[in-house]
Amino acid sequence: MDLNKPLQQLLTEGNSIRASARILNMTYKNTYKKFLWLIKQAKVTRERLIFSARKIYFDEMETIHHTKCKPLSIAVAVNEDYQILALQVAEMPAKGRLARFSVMKYGPRKDERDSVMGEVFRCLKNRLSRPPENIYSDAKSSYRKHVEGTFPQSTYEVHNRADKERHRDRLHEKLHKKRFDPLFAVNQRCAKLRSDIRRLTRRSWCTTKKPENLQGQLDLYIVNQFGPAFS
């Protein structure tokens, strides 16, 4: 029986590797080996994909590498049809009250977010059939150089709400559900990623132990948009 296709589906629909092994009646060791084979194939397939996009929405989401003291950033880019165009993992230093403890216990961490975002835009340039008409993001200042350097002909729009307005929305979230979110496409995909990839779920003991495996599972998720592809 071919188990590669059902394993691919399980791993991109909210199941961990161990849970997938139980569902498919496999050993964890064999399931993990199949997972490594799948993400290897997904990487090759992802590099061959060609997308079309009139609009691009992009942002970053955060997750952890085993502990909150070792955070990771994921650059996310989607088109107007909610199709994910790129997902790329970057190492980043801890913030806030954990920053000092993180340095004491694990040493200084690299901040790869800017270089990875540049890599994402280079990949988009190579994989898009034509340049997008519009590009949307939040107001992070480092984004503009990547957009204008890669797609100078595209219209770049920045959307950001004042801290006071954001705080009011949090207090009265139910009253503002009908308010238009100009970055809804990328925010919705980020929420769905947390639902569909178990290691990204918040408040879970299923965490990423190897960042390269997280990147592999994200590649698998992109390829799975087109249906199970491996046998």
Domains and CATH numbers, the chain: 50-210 (3.30.420)
Q: Which residues in the chain come in under a pLDDT of 50? A: 163-164, 167
User: How much is the pLDDT for 205?
Assistant: 86
What Cα–Cα distance (Å) separates residue 223 from each residue in 13, 18, 135, 162, 203?
13, 22, 23, 37, 27
**Residue 220, C-beta contacts closer than 8 angstroms, at least 6 positions apart:** 8, 11, 12, 38, 39, 42
| pLDDT tens per residue across span 126-147 | 999 999 999 999 999 999 999 9
| pLDDT tens per residue across span 143-164 | 999 999 999 999 999 998 654 4
